[in-house]
Amino acid sequence: MGDTADGLQPVPEPSLDEQIAVYQREFQDLDPQVEKVVSALSRLNRRMNVAYGRQTAALGISNAEWEVLKALVISGAPYRMGPSELAKQLGLTPAAMTHRIDRMTAEGLVTRERDESNRVRVIVELTAGGRSKWLDAMRAATIFEEDLLQDLSTEERGVLGDMLTRLLDRVEDLQSRN
Amino acid sequence: MGDTADGLQPVPEPSLDEQIAVYQREFQDLDPQVEKVVSALSRLNRRMNVAYGRQTAALGISNAEWEVLKALVISGAPYRMGPSELAKQLGLTPAAMTHRIDRMTAEGLVTRERDESNRVRVIVELTAGGRSKWLDAMRAATIFEEDLLQDLSTEERGVLGDMLTRLLDRVEDLQSRN
DNA sequence: TCTGAAGACTTCACAGCTAAAGTTCGACGC
DNA sequence: GCGTCGAACTTTAGCTGTGAAGTCTTCAGA
């Protein structure tokens, strides 16, 4: 018996267009143009996360930890944020944030201390080591990202960034009105 | 003392451009155009997953389960796949797939049986109920997706789909060569 | 000053994933 | 035939996340 043992084909991974063609057969009122955009977005993101994951793993941190480092750097000097603030930005529950900060503190990437001027609050602060890890990850990431966009001209990059920003505004708008 | 208790601002969520501006201060050789594209992609995807999650939750299934239903439908009639095939497509380990199939079998979304022609293999098959859930989720999803893209003209949608597809091809190429 | 309410974080119980070891079956060489 | 290898799935242990309850602190009003 050959490759296809009756019920199960190998199916390595259907191409985007194949996938959409099947969807159209199964679900008539589907706009293939819309579906192509959202399917590509979703696949692209999964692939990119895999790529980032490999890079951060090579640096001895996890993708999750890199997210925290990024948020702290983005907050600007002196690189301090509260756990719930971090949690909100990363889309996590405060409980998960507590655990992540535990781990990152143990690894020396951040410090955690009580805010003495308001003892309910906790201040998470980036350490020099954490900042240096961020830099390393950033260098690797930008190389990958430049590589990813290499086939797009400068104009195309601008157009793409603009359209994605508009989608982002739109989805934030949709979500704020519940 | 006002809003800003020394070290901690409220910072609801920095806009994309604010974020990139800070990045540029902290990391000189950053191409803001590239960064805008990748940051928008990442944020957009997170928001979209939240939206999908709400919709599938309203139907009584999880996002994870919806992914499985989609893969089975995409495989075409008779909607059968092996666990490891599914795992590969969804980017999961076989172990995770086993658990998901356990749950989905218990919920009547799929059936699991041994392939009698090759008793090492297992066949996961979509049930009528599972197919109907897929349809419900699909209806909700297309409404949301159409809504999301509403500000883009038909031409723009085409251009966006095309550019994203090129990025996808590129990232797959980068990953296949390890 | 005391009390109640609200906010910020942590703790607890549990769900879902990964990595690695285990099980079962089929294929191949002797 | 028989033993071994390899493939496909499952099982187990441990990690990371969620939701809900708990603790500690601050603030406003009696």
Residues A51 and A109 in one domain: no
Residues B35 and B20 in one domain: yes
Look at residue A9 in the predicted model and tell me its pLDDT: 37
* More confident of the two residues A75 and A14: A75
- Distance of A174 CA from D22 C1′ (whole Å): 35
What is the per-residue burial (b if ≥16 Cβ within 10 Å, else e) of A104-114?
beeeebbeeee
Residues B52 and B27 in one domain: yes
Residues B131 and B99 in one domain: yes
Each residue's pLDDT tens digit, B133-150: 999 999 999 999 999 999
Residues A26 and A90 in one domain: no
Q: Are A20 and B61 in contact (CB under 8 A)?
A: no
Strand partners, A124: A81, A112
Chain D footprint positions (protein CB, under 7 Å): 6-13, 16-21, 24-27
Strand partners, A80: A125
Residues A142 and A69 in one domain: yes
Query: What pLDDT band is residue A119 in, cutting at 50, 70 and 90?
Result: confident
The average confidence (pLDDT) of chain A is 88
Look at residue A178 in the predicted model and tell me its pLDDT: 52
Look at residue B5 in the predicted model and tell me its pLDDT: 33
Q: Does A149 contact B at CB distance below 8 Å?
A: yes
SS (H, E, C) chain A: CCCCECCECCCCCCCHHHHHHHHHHHCCCCCHHHHHHHHHHHHHHHHHHHHHHHHHHHCCCCHHHHHHHHHHHHCCCCCEECHHHHHHHHCCCHHHHHHHHHHHHHCCCEEEEECCCCCCCEEEEECHHHHHHHHHHHHHHHHHHHHHCCCCCHHHHHHHHHHHHHHHHHHHHHHHCC
Query: What pLDDT band is residue A172 in, cutting at 50, 70 and 90?
Result: confident
Residues B43 and B67 in one domain: no
Residues A53 and A69 in one domain: no
Q: Fill in the DSSP letter of residue B152.
A: S
Query: What pLDDT band is residue A15 in, cutting at 50, 70 and 90?
Result: confident
**B7 pLDDT more than 60:** no
Domain assignment present for A78? yes
Cβ-based burial of B154 (10 A; exposed 0-12, middle 13-18, buried ≥19): exposed
Among residues B41, B58, B75, the one where a domain terminates is B58
Residues A93 and A140 in one domain: yes
The separation between CA A132 and the C-alpha centre of its own chain, rounded to angstroms, equals 20
**A6 pLDDT more than 50:** no
* Cα–Cα distance, A163 to B163 (Å, whole number): 11
Residues A82 and A121 in one domain: yes
Domain with residue B119: its CATH number is 1.10.10.10
Among residues B30, B58, B86, the one where a domain terminates is B58
Domain assignment present for B173? no
8 Å CB contact of A27 and B164: no
Each residue's pLDDT tens digit, B19-54: 899 889 999 889 999 999 999 999 999 899 989 999
- The number of folded domains in chain B is 2
Look at residue A12 in the predicted model and tell me its pLDDT: 54
Q: Which of residues 22-61 of A touch strand C (CB under 7 A)?
A: none
| Out of B16, B166, B172, closest to residue A168 by CB | B16
The average confidence (pLDDT) of chain B is 88
Look at residue A159 in the predicted model and tell me its pLDDT: 96
Give the list of residues 6+ apart from residue B120 with CB closer than 8 angstroms, or none. none
Residues B112 and B126 in one domain: yes
Mapping DSSP to helix (H, G, I), strand (E, B) and coil, where does residue B116 land?
coil
Give me the domain span that covers residue B126. 61-141
8 Å CB contact of A31 and B152: no
Domain assignment present for A21? yes
Q: Which of B44, B105, B123 is nearest to A42 (CA)?
A: B44
Residues B37 and B74 in one domain: no
